[in-house]
Chain A
Amino acid sequence: MMTNVRLALLSGRLSYRALFSWNTPALFFAVLVFTPVLQIVFFVLLGRSLEYRDDLFFITGNALLGATAASVSGLVGVIAEERRFGTLSTILVSPASRVAVFVGRLLPGVVLAIGTAVFTSCLGFVAVGWPYSPLESLAYLAAITVAAFSGSALGLTLSAFGLIYRDIFQIATAAQFALLLLTGANVALDRLPEWAQGLALGLPLTHAVAGVRELTAAGVTTTFWSALGTDVLVGACWLGVGLVLMNVLERAARRGASLELY
């Protein structure tokens, strides 16, 4: 257990440092802040343009979405880049736990995603007037953390397909659009068709967003904690599926000798 934790932390630290061989820190942090802020601005303006809900609806929805989406694309990116650099097979023939290696590489990204979501939320809250008490602010932070966790679990599941499929970013992009559209972050669930509402219940983030809507309307209630708990449960289910898929698809990739294909 401790070996795997050490492996995850070491893997995360090394890959995070390697990131800066491709990105200058200034540009990296600009992207980290600039794009999520503009996403919120875009949806706030869209809401105003179509006279739908208030600014806070889009600020909180997109801040949570940012934490989840970064977690999803982070893990998918890890496997896609390993394949691109030809190092995926080296990792898979090593005796180290793959999950520890990949999750370790995700960790810095998740921490940054949470930080970005907090930062963009603060900017939005300052602009529209702080909507939460100190206790509610902590509850909001818990919702962001839960969203990042459940997003990571979905990311692990999707990234497993990177072991057998080259264009994994396509799957990640589709997942991000599904989160954008179906989780209630930008459109209230009751406006979706029934089949889409059913689908949304199985996605990470949906319940965390519902929890934050409850937090905004009524404060820290049992409904809020129940929504967050459900999101953790959904994330745990995706995590289980991801771990099984990793195992099954790794064996399929070894059998098909397809890891070197790019």
Chain B
Amino acid sequence: MIRVASAAWWLQIRLLTTSPFFLGIALMTPLAYLAIALLIQGEDGSPARVTEHVIGAGLMGAWSATLYGAGEALYMQRWTGTLQLLVAAPRSLVGPVVGFSAAAVTLGGYSVVAVWVLARWVFGVSLTVQDGLAVAAGLVMCLLALSAIGMVLAAYYVLSRQALTVSNMLEYPIWIASGLLISTSVLWSPVVWVGKLLPFGWAVDVVHRGIAGEPYVSTLAMSVLVTSAYVGLGVFLLHRVDHAVRRTGRLGL
């Protein structure tokens, strides 16, 4: 399965990096929102707040890249008629889907790094973190959490012709619930709880704690736990979807 996942990852990376649209989305989305946050904030922002905005904007781009990248991967398989071949192959659907999700998240990683570099170059801001290890661990968990969410979404995308439409609807909810750019103190409590149901929300919290120098180990542990649960859920759903589409024979519709 690792070989299949690696091949799918490499194929999808090559496809995504030749698409100006995806490269643009991964870069333009975070830059535009970062610019808005910095302009709104003006001179008032503390270094920690500015750092949260730079990393938060990069993670917004990472979520957009995951959402559209994972959706587009299966949409294009359906569009070109190769999704049936993928399902009919004597391999689990999990391998390719993990590869596709990981490719989208890799593009998300590019988004985080590119925004960091451009923020320094264009806006002249630098990152101030109290605990670099916590921030690094949080960022790694963010990308793993995005992969896990990508797997769960992929199960739906295999079944649905409307992957891209659904992708459009999911961008803002995760940005809001995960506390990216927006302080969770202004969110309504049910929304905060929705964020706690997502592995991404916990991972973002680890990053924020690292920036502020607060204790983070229990949050990191929760992030690992919830991400693992999402991976398990993704594998379960993909197996169910695999059986369902074989039984109903409606994949080509």
A positions within 8 Å CB-CB of B? 22-24, 27-28, 30-31, 34-35, 38-39, 41-42, 45-50, 52, 167, 169-170, 173-174, 177, 180-181, 186-187, 191-192
Contacts and interface: CB of A to CB of B under 8 A. Distances in A.
B20 A170 contact: yes
Contacts of A48: 186
B222 to A, nearest CB: 24
A180 B28 CA distance: 12
Interface stretch (B99-107, B125-133, B175-183): B175-183
B165 A28 contact: yes
Interface stretch (B9-17, B29-37, B223-231, B232-240): B29-37
A211 to B, nearest CB: 21
Interface stretch (B38-46, B138-146, B200-208): B38-46
A35 B169 contact: yes
A228 B42 CA distance: 29
B168 A31 contact: yes
Contacts of A46: 36-37, 40, 181-182
A167 B24 CA distance: 11
Contacts of B161: 22
A38 B21 CA distance: 23
B172 interface: yes
Contact of B168 (A35, A169, A174, A181): A35
Nearest to B176: A42
Judged by DSSP, the binding face of A is helix
A74 B39 CA distance: 29
Given A46-B37, A170-B20, A191-B39, A177 B32 contact: yes
Counting chain B residues whose Cβ lies within 8 A of the other chain, the interface size class is 20 to 34
B182 A27 contact: no
A219 B166 CA distance: 40
B62 to A, nearest CB: 17
Contacts of A23: 162, 165
B19 interface: yes
Contacts of A169: 21
Contact of A45 (B24, B29, B40, B187): B187
B23 to A, nearest CB: 9
A170 B21 contact: yes
Contacts, number: 81
B36 A186 contact: yes
Given A41-B176, A48-B186, A181-B35, A174 B24 contact: yes
A88 B35 CA distance: 37
B173 interface: yes
A61 B40 CA distance: 14
Given A22-B162, A177-B28, A192 B39 contact: yes
Contact of A187 (B20, B28, B36): B36
B48 to A, nearest CB: 14
Contacts of B168: 31, 35
A45 B182 contact: yes
Contacts of A177: 28-29, 31-32
A120 to B, nearest CB: 13
A52 B37 CA distance: 10
B183 A180 contact: no
A35 B67 CA distance: 15
19 contacts: A22-B161, A27-B162, A27-B166, A35-B168, A35-B169, A38-B173, A42-B172, A45-B176, A45-B186, A45-B187, A48-B186, A49-B181, A50-B41, A169-B21, A186-B40, A187-B36, A187-B40, A191-B39, A191-B40
B183 A49 contact: yes
Given A48-B186, A173-B21, A180-B32, A38 B39 contact: no
B36 A180 contact: yes
A18 to B, nearest CB: 14
B172 A39 contact: yes
A219 B19 CA distance: 47
Contacts of A52: 40-41
